[in-house]
């Protein structure tokens, strides 16, 4: 098993990073939140999980070991593959997921693309004794994001993905109405996806 990769970031894409390890570029699938912490040319260390399929080997990368462990535990539930597990971590932190499961918060799970009401109920039952109790402070409510500085976080993420300052400024302005309509709780991961869509349309 590849437990982690460490080296300079060679390239960034909307859903992956390439980390140079011993002269080899390792493509690592990451959530938008993890990608937003990376910068091309700077050193990075990502905890990783290798998913082996008959026709592919896919490396998933995480900010820390807690995220990786949660990613692997989520896949022990029936119907949860690596893509859905990654989507859950793109919307919620590991502790937020633990809180949602321990409190039976169905609404938080349905906030994840690909999870409906019945799927959320099933996951709550299956994961109840697997994820454990939250380990951090209560923090923000489940399914919400810290509102302070979402513009700065989004701007930094876009710059990290290689976009010019002007492009990042325009993308932030384009998604501002969506952020403001979110009831004051914009999720940076979702805004990043929307911003990338606007940039792709203008290129």
Q: Is residue 144 domain-resident? A: no
Q: What pLDDT is attached to residue 201?
A: 61
Query: In angstroms, what CA-CA distances link 75 with 19, 87, 131, 145, 146?
Result: 25, 12, 11, 24, 27
Per-residue pLDDT, 196: 80
Report how far apart, in Å, the C-alpha atoms of 14 and of each of 38, 40, 56 are: 12, 13, 20
CA distance 89 to 71: 7
In a domain, 69, yes or no: yes
Per-residue pLDDT tens, the chain, 203 aa: give them: 789 999 999 999 888 999 999 999 999 999 888 988 899 999 999 999 999 988 889 999 999 999 999 999 999 999 899 999 998 998 888 998 999 998 999 998 988 888 899 999 999 999 988 888 777 644 443 343 433 367 777 777 777 667 778 888 888 888 888 877 765 556 777 788 788 878 766 55
Residue 22 gets the label, from left (phi > 0), alpha (psi -120 to 50) or beta, of: left
Would you state the structure tokens that stand for residue 20, as one six-digit string? 């140079």
Classify residue 115: in a domain, yes or no. Answer: yes
Number of compact structural domains in the chain: 3
The pLDDT of residue 186 is: 66
pTM: 0.67
53's enclosing H/E stretch is strand 43-53
Residue 138 located in a structural domain? no
Q: Is residue 140 part of a domain?
A: no
Could you please report the per-residue DSSP string of 4-27?
Answer: EEEEEEEEE-SSEEEEEETTEEEE
Return d(Cα 177, Cα 103) in angstroms, integer: 32
Pair of tokens at residue 160 = 């990290």
pLDDT the model gives residue 136:
61
Range of the domain at 166: 150-202
pLDDT for 185 equals: 57
Domain closes at, from 62, 87, 111:
62
């Amino acid at each position: 098993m590849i437990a982690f990769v460490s080296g300079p970031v060679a390239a960034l894409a909307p859903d992956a990073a390439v980390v140079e390890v011993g002269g080899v570029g390792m493509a690592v699938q990451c959530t938008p939140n993890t990608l937003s912490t990376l910068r091309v040319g700077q050193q990075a260390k990502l905890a990783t999980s290798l998913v082996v399929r008959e026709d592919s080997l896919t490396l998933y990368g995480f900010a820390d070991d807690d995220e990786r462990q949660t990613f692997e535990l989520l896949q022990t539930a029936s119907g949860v593959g690596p893509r859905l597990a990654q989507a859950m971590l793109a919307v919620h932190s590991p502790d937020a997921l633990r809180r949602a499961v321990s409190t039976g918060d169905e609404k938080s799970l349905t906030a994840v693309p690909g999870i409906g009401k019945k799927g959320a109920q099933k996951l709550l039952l299956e994961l109840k004794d697997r994820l454990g109790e939250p380990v951090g402070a209560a923090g923000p409510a489940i399914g919400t994001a810290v509102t302070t500085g979402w513009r700065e976080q989004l701007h930094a993420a876009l710059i990290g993905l290689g976009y010019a300052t002007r492009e990042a400024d325009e993308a932030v302005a384009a998604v501002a109405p969506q952020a403001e309509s979110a009831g004051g709780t914009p999720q940076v991961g979702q805004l990043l996806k929307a911003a990338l869509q606007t940039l792709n349309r203008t290129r």
